Amino acid sequence: MPCHYCELGIAIGQGKRIFLYSPNEEVNNFETTSTFYHLAEVEKCFGTLDELLEQVTIVKKS
């Protein structure tokens, strides 16, 4: 298991807000992605980087 999955698991365990970005929806593929990607605590963001920044900014202001 690559180290970034360990870090992701620790962040989720600590209740950190997790945004998973992909320009397409390839992160929804259960066969090629980590189980962590499919947890309810992970907020998936699709589209452009501008749309990601908008979503993160909106969440941060809330």
> What is residue 50's predicted lDDT score, i.e. its pLDDT?
93
Q: What is the pLDDT of residue 49?
A: 93
Give the closest residue to 59 by CA, choosing from 40, 38, 45: 45
pLDDT means per 10 residues, the chain with 62 residues, are 71 91 90 88 92 83 61
What total of structural domains would you count in the chain? 1
Note the pLDDT of residue 59. 67
Domain that holds residue 50: 3-61
pLDDT, residue 4, reads: 62
Tell me, what's the pLDDT at 36?
A: 85
Using a cut of 0.85, tell me whether the model's pTM lies above it: no
Alpha-carbon 52 to chain mean position: 11
